[in-house]
Amino acid sequence: MKHTAPCPCESGAAYERCCRRWHQGEPAPDAEALMRSRYAAYALGLKDYLLHTWHPSTRPASLQEEADAQPLKWLGLKVLRHEASGGDQANVEFVARYKVNGKAERLHENSRFVREHGQWFYVDGDFIGD
């Protein structure tokens, strides 16, 4: 990806000045920044980053895609709410749009995050039906 291209997280900033730094190892400052960087990592195929930022208590062993699974094309992200619940816990509600098999889909989730030793981690989330 060209570093001057818009960031996939749709913050309005260039990737170089947005999620790239989180992808290169700098800790995200808050849960919303981590969630945006995780969306960008999905869009860019950065599986190692996704695993690294997933809390060990809920992290899968791998993100290997099913051999017959259709690849997703990520189309956009909208953050609806970012709510800190205590200094080291937060929730982020978002809608991610993607296309699979030529059909547009939406993922509406309320995600839980925790900060440990200065680093935010994705814990889990609840899907919200629209």
Ordered by start, the domain boundaries in the chain are 15-59+71-127
Other residues' Cβ atoms within 10 Å of the Cβ of residue 91 = 19
Q: In this predicted structure, what is the pLDDT of residue 71? A: 79
What is the topology classification, in CATH, of domain 15-59+71-127? Nuclear Transport Factor 2; Chain: A, (3.10.450)
Give me the phi and psi of 115, to 5 degrees please: -110, 125
Q: What is the mean pLDDT of each run of 10 residues along the chain (130 residues)?
A: 84 96 97 98 95 96 68 93 92 96 94 97 92
Beta bridge partners of 91: 83, 112
Q: Please report the pLDDT score of residue 126 as a whole number.
A: 97
Selection from 127, 52, 120, 59 nearest residue 89 by Cα:
120
The Cα–Cα gap between 15 and 4 comes to 6
CB 79 within 8 A of CB 36: yes
pLDDT at 130: 63
CA distance 21 to 40: 12
